[in-house]
Structure 1
Amino acid sequence: PCTNHASTSAFLWGRSRVCLPHARSHLCTSRRVGGYDTSSFNAQQRDEIICDFTISYNFFNFVKFTFYFAMSATVKQPPAPKGEEAGPVTPPDGGARAWFVMVGAFLCNGILFGVINTYSVIYMDLKKKLETQGDTDTSSKAALVGSLAIGATFSMSLVSGILTDHFGLRRTTLFGGILAASGMLLSSFLTDNVAALYLTYGLMYGLGAALTYTPSLAILGHYFKRYLGLVNGVVTAGSSAFTIAMPAFLNWLVEVAGLPSTLRVLALMSSFIILCALLFKPLQPRQRPLFKKERTRCTTLINVDNWRRKRYVIWALTIPFALFGYFVPYVHFGKFVADAFPGRRGDLPVMCIGVTSGLGRLIFGYVADLPRVDRILLQQISFASIGLLTVCLPFAPSYEVLLAIALAMGLFDGCFISLLGPIAFDLCGAKGATQGIGFLLSLCSLPLTLGAPIAGLLYDHMQSYTLPFILAGLPPLGGAVIMNLMRCVRDDSAKQDESADAAAQPLSDPTAGTGFGAIEGQKKNGLLEPDVDNSQV
């Protein structure tokens, strides 16, 4: 702080770290700051410009030094010796670093989807701004900003998976956090230009969210195996927790500070993703390819092994089909309540879904970790339940029954979401899970985007939500049936992976050599002599 002025006005100013009074005196002398001609500005306007440039300059300095620190702090795994392959690393299933990774992934999910799911608060204020400016079609223009953000988040997940495989979980998450925070900060200076918000809020923030979301799920498989389902439930419950807590806070912030300051606070929240990225250190060792063919395969962008797994292909194509009507209740609950139950709160059913969705992610995440529990079957049950409950919505006899249906929908919604990561690891393994999740989310972007508008067109034509809700419930029911095909096929690549893991386990697990099965496996691989008792090994 400046020794000559009160600490309340001692703002940092650029590289020289000049306080606000000194900056003001310099401004009065030079009449230029940051490229602005301030000769016609009053003192209050000059102070606002100084504060804006101060916030921007120090924010980007923070991002720059954090990026340098992350690059220097990344611990690189040494390659395996020539002619040898590195053994798989067993997830620790606990420990301080593993729990910190879980907390970091929880914050990433909560911040990203908390901002996306509470866009309605920003939408109302932005719509008022556009109406004040005399724009036409203000509703569609303001809604497009948020739609671009959610669309980019899912559609760019494929890019996120590819970048994660080639640059690492930590660097991809770090770049995503920088992009999301920068896009939100730039949006705070462009609230009067909705076309610019399409780029900064919609595309920049959406791409940053995509680059963060996929690694935040993939990193969990490096640290957890036995408790992977429960940990995924805790992490994905972050979006529910932030979605419940943020609307009231954002409403208060918009009323007190205005939309630009609110977006700057959201930029500050998004910058915490940069700190969380420093925790995402993968445990899988790097491997040196033994043959030229393998070396060529490692240079390809897409992990084609995933698409040789028949069960993954069926799963990845079925999930997008089942989600075609997923967002229809979320978007149209308000209008449906206004038509069917006048005078009742239209936002309460969505809040009920959010509360029980977070609870369902914790409950079914724990259930998925229990022995002999079929995760695919759990996801089928969740899809069938969501479909049946959606079909029942237009036939609810009272508002209380409607709330009960919404509570049940949220519970099974949490079940479906919490199982995405564990099932991807089951089908693709740790190496293919990142791109497996990324491809899946990219395929889901189109049906998630089209379902609600199509339901709106049907309502405009029929003035009733009966047919739209019935049609929205059919895809989840069909998806639950189609997933039975996964039980009719078996992946040859999965068998090879299992045999490779079994061969590598005695070398990496010090307790694996005491059983008959482990000794037999070593005999087959020529590692032990068949007539010698090697139990001590």
Structure 2
Amino acid sequence: MDTEPKESSDLLKARNTVETNGKLKSEDLKDPPDGGVRAYSVMVASFLTNGLFFGVINSYSVIYTVLENHLKNEGISNSESRAALVGALTMGTTFFLSPLSGVLTGVLGIRLTAVLGGTIATAALLLSSFFVYNVGVLYFTYGIMYGLGASFAYTPSLAILGHYFKKHLGLVNGVVTVGSSIFTVIMPPLMEYMILHHGLDWLLRLLAVFTLGTAVCGFIFKPAPSMVTKASREDDSWKSLLKSIVNIQIWKNKKYRFWALSMPVALFGYFVPYVHIKKFIENNFVDVNTNLPLQCIAVTSGLGRLIFGFLADKPGVDRILLQQISFYVIGVLTIILPFVNKFGILVAIALGMGIFDGAFIALIGPIAFELCGGAYAAQAIGCMLGLAAAPLSVGPPIAGYIYSINKSYTLPFVLAGISPLVGATLMFAIRLQRVPSNEESINTNGIAVRPVSVRIEKSPSLLLSNGDANQQTNL
């Protein structure tokens, strides 16, 4: 059975030891083009995809305020937690389905998966516009369905970068993820204007039109010719396909295990300020721009992504330590937040939170490369985000529930700030894990990876490591 070409995006130039019919030889992996019109078109499309999706997700506090007020006026109990759950489900579903998105990328290809994601998300927003105050329906349409589409488009938008960039991959990742920061600045005032003059239903329809653009961007995600291989007839079976896209190698890496299990703890309270900060400001300040702190977080988060994306490309940089520092700062500032009684100080805290928010996001990809190598980076990131989905989803509703009991955001924000402190502390366990002395490190643009011995049988397109087939894809 003939198949479509599969994407292979190993970013490591290191020469792999390849065994063919019992004879060892070296094989050079082709480099990504690292520039050109096509490469920069892909970067812009990825930028827009990240911006459109996370601009909407991060600005949910605008919709939350309207929805929560409506539920309260209807006399519905726990209106805060019910309204918060809609947006939290979106973020949680986006991350929870990242592993599935990675699998679909291996089966359908990067381009088709991204187009499918954009189409599903567009349909979700369009359906939501007809049920704007029906929370039960919004849980599915705006929460799960839109999150599903965002996940299917988000993972390919990052994975495709490895097909076109290598030397400055960290910086390019930073540029692309700045899209969400820029759109988070633009979206809140636009969303408020639409709600005020046209209603929540027409806002969702406008967002559906914007989101359709992500499906168009998906068509640009064509894998680079140098990164495409074609499987042979003999190896093309469902069993070998499953092995090529799902593997357990990353979980044999103790350092990765500690990192992947620490991140969900650190991210438990991450989305709480994004959802509740607007309501917090309305309760504690008068005659101020309630969107300004969220916009400040977005602006400096973009700056942080660029700065720390650039640093991640530098040899000798301790990326895990930088991410720990980021979580410590975010945690402390979140704890301080409810005790601030001057709006100027609140804005300053938001600026600081944004810088280190961008830092931890920009470091996710380079850390995955460092711990797992290029062959496993995409699935390593997908699995970590999948584990983080539940904490991300339950954090804001729990904060809303605590607020509904105490009528104060002090305890919710303090608890939200403690979780990144605990997660960052758990990451010290990574440093206690010893690397076997027989494993040499290869440094590629500052990313230390272990050389992988692979064996090829029948077809050079499927690489076998320790007997398991493995598709090479990267974020």
TM-score by length of 2: 0.78
1:381 matches 2:381: no
Q: 1:185 to 1:391 in 2, by over 3 A?
A: closer
Question: 1:225 aligned to 166, 182, 185, which one?
Answer: 166
Question: 1:241 aligned to 182, 190, 193, which one?
Answer: 182
1:96-137 per-position Cα deviation (integer Å, ceiling 9, x unaligned): 2221111111111111112222334445566677789x6845
Q: 1:216 to 1:345 in 2, by over 3 A?
A: same
Question: 2:304 aligned to 360, 375, 386, which one?
Answer: 360
Superposed, 1:261-276 pairs within 5 Å as 261-276=202-217
8 A Cα contact 1:86 1:286, kept in partner: no
d(CA) in 2 for partners of 1:377 and 1:164? 31
d(CA) in 2 for partners of 1:255 and 1:397? 29
Superposed, 1:96-495 pairs within 5 Å as 96-123=37-64, 136=76, 142-191=83-132, 194-283=135-224, 284-286=227-229, 298-300=241-243, 302-337=246-281, 341=285, 344-396=288-340, 398-459=342-403, 464-490=408-434
Identity over aligned pairs, percent: 50
- Larger proportion of strand: 2
Unaligned runs of 5+ in 2: 9-17, 442-448, 457-475
8 A Cα contact 2:81 2:398, kept in partner: no
Q: 1:122 to 1:169 in 2, by over 3 A?
A: same
1:429 to partner: Cα distance: 3.0
8 A Cα contact 1:328 1:469, kept in partner: yes
SS at match of 1:213: helix
Tell me which amino acid in the other structure corresponds to 1:166.
V
d(CA) in 2 for partners of 1:233 and 1:401? 28
Tell me which amino acid in the other structure corresponds to 1:107.
L
d(CA) in 1 for partners of 2:254 and 2:383? 15
CA RMSD of aligned residues (A): 3.7
Specify the alignment match of 2:14 in structure 1: none
1:256-309 per-position Cα deviation (integer Å, ceiling 9, x unaligned): 4444443332222111112211222334343759998x9955423522112122
Superposed, 1:522-533 pairs within 5 Å as none
d(CA) in 1 for partners of 2:362 and 2:147? 22
d(CA) in 1 for partners of 2:297 and 2:194? 25
8 A Cα contact 1:221 1:425, kept in partner: no
Structure (1 or 2) with the larger CA radius of gyration = 1
d(CA) in 2 for partners of 1:122 and 1:390? 22
Q: Which moved more, 1:486-495 or 1:238-247?
A: 486-495
- Larger proportion of helix: 1
SS at match of 2:31: coil
1:464-498 per-position Cα deviation (integer Å, ceiling 9, x unaligned): 54444343333322322322332333566975974
1:412 to partner: Cα distance: 0.6
Q: Which moved more, 1:204-213 or 1:475-484?
A: 475-484
Greater relative contact order structure (CA < 8 Å, 6+ sep)? 2
d(CA) in 1 for partners of 2:339 and 2:80? 30
8 A Cα contact 1:314 1:486, kept in partner: yes
8 A Cα contact 2:334 2:414, kept in partner: yes
1:234 to partner: Cα distance: 1.1
d(CA) in 2 for partners of 1:443 and 1:369? 26
d(CA) in 1 for partners of 2:7 and 2:283? 60
8 A Cα contact 1:310 1:490, kept in partner: no
1:238 to partner: Cα distance: 0.8
TM-score by length of 1: 0.69
8 A Cα contact 2:296 2:354, kept in partner: yes
1:8-33 per-position Cα deviation (integer Å, ceiling 9, x unaligned): xxxxxxxxxxxxxxxxxxxxxxxxxx
Q: 1:438 to 1:430 in 2, by over 3 A?
A: same
Q: Which moved more, 1:174-183 or 1:458-467?
A: 458-467
8 A Cα contact 2:85 2:393, kept in partner: no
8 A Cα contact 1:218 1:421, kept in partner: no
Unaligned runs of 5+ in 1: 1-73, 505-537
8 A Cα contact 1:187 1:201, kept in partner: yes
1:182 to partner: Cα distance: 1.9
8 A Cα contact 2:43 2:176, kept in partner: yes
d(CA) in 2 for partners of 1:179 and 1:127? 26
